[in-house]
Amino acid sequence: MVKRALISVSDKCGIVDFAKKLQEMGVEILSTGGTAKTLMESGISVISVSDVTGFPECLDGRVKTLHPAIHGGLLAIRENEEHMAQLKNLGIQPIDLVVINLYPFKETIKKENVILEDAIENIDIGGPTMLRAAAKNYQDVAVVIDPADYDRVIEELEQSGALSRDTKYRLALKVFEHTAHYDALIAQYLREQIQGEFPEVLTLTYEKVQDLRYGENPHQQAVFYKESGKNPGSLVNAEQLHGKELSFNNINDANGALELLKEYSEPAVVAVKHTNACGVGSGYDLFDAYHKAYSCDPTSIYGGIVAANQKVDRRTAEEMNKIFLEIIIAPDFEADALEILKGKKNIRLMKLPEIQSKQPENALDLKKINGGLLIQNVDGQLHKEEELKVVTQRIPTKKEMEDMLFAWKVVKHIKSNGIVLAKDLQSLGIGPGQVNRIWAVENAIRQANLPIKGSVLASDAFFPFADCVEAAAKAGITAIIQPGGSQNDEASIEMANQYGIAMIFTGMRHFKH
């Protein structure tokens, strides 16, 4: 039976109605500070926690509930006769229901220009302590942290006069999940202030976005979580304007398209299939960029995902509408473009205004392995200008250099071993995910849909042998950009000189496994 409840909430949504229904059931209500004021102004009888403890709130409200008169009432096991005798001797009454939500730490640190002192002041102490105490004693004390549970609690109390052990267990579990999340956010924020080394003990926290129909395959269960924080430019912030829910593979592929798209400031379009780009184009406007991306591989783009860094106009929408696309992501859509694209029932249209916002370089890249986790900083760099080095007799032309840098952006996001052929700011052939580099070169050449004579080649890592350069030369490729660093670099350089190919070393590798 719930005879006594303690209510202290920062989020007051729904709390007045909830407290009124408790009072109608004869429940005595204890409260603190702003919550007590809100309840009393609504005509609800409230006993101040200060009257229970015999001490006023002090230290600007930092100390209110940290007292045996509160925690004794929460932690006493009702079936333990010794516990109950001690409560009686100490004049402490049991508390049967705790309704608390915490200081808004997450909301505080998401504000622009928040300072450390403000963040610290919004770290709740008494709230988590009471929540954990009540949850530990869940068999006797019900604890509610989420306003979404108010109706469920009231309904069960009205029907049976008490809360079941199963309900109290689930509410307690929710508390421990929430306080773990809360503490992880605090630790994460404090570590970000010093940008130190990776911690000895790592606790990561994510918030559920949605359940997914299934994972990579129909027999796998799946769910989508997001990082706590602002996450500008992330798919988690995209507004879906049309189409059914995104699937696991949709989300994974779309993320790959977005990360590649962020490399370009000029109008650009990226088409992705199974996390690899199947076409990338940059042009004087979005229509030109889309035409280039499409022309690279008209077969693979079918059923793929397209990301654009400019508002989609009517002309481009008409072209996109000629084939089946799973998803189109853009910063915005013109009204008539949106109307055209909505004509297809199954296409997903995603609006992401901050589409070009990049992750900070100290953001984490996580790879789950069986029984462990690999963590690294994201690959946030492209190349260092001072490390670009011409290593051949022939110097690349301005146009070749422009195309090589375009291709270098693409190959950075291609699965290793990865090769990209490009010309006129357009990908021509892409050879991703091969177990040796010559196969990647041969695949890129063989799969090219457009003539590759006079194109350039980008390789995500060095050439172990000169055969890659020879194959490129025989295909008519005139310039190569690669990291360098192989023991056989000289052999590749000699082969390039033999065929009159210009070659650039970047000094930076971009493996993507």
Active-site residue list: 136, 274
DSSP-based three-state secondary structure for 411:
helix
* Burial status of residue 167 (CB atoms within 10 A of its CB: 0-12, 13-18, 19 or more): middle
DSSP-assigned letters across all residues of 247-304: PHHHHHHHHHHHHHHTT-SSSEEEEEETTEEEEEEE-SSHHHHHHHHHHH-TTTTTT-
Chain-centre distance of CA 464, in angstroms? 36
DSSP-based three-state secondary structure for 120:
helix
DSSP category for residue 188: H
Q: Which phi-psi region, left, alpha or beta, contains residue 303 (left: φ > 0; alpha: ψ -120 to 50)?
A: left
Residue from 117, 106, 434, 425 nearest 291 by CA? 425
The owner of tokens 């962020």 is 262
Reported as type and span, the H/E element at residue 383 is none
Tell me whether strands 305-308 and 268-273 are parallel, antiparallel or unpaired. Answer: antiparallel
Instruction: Work out the number of other CB atoms within 10 angstroms of the CB of residue 393.
Output: 13
Please count the CA atoms within 13 angstroms of the CA of 160 that sit on its side-chain side. 9
Torsion sign, CA atoms 70, 71, 74, 76: negative
Return the CA Rg of the chain.
30
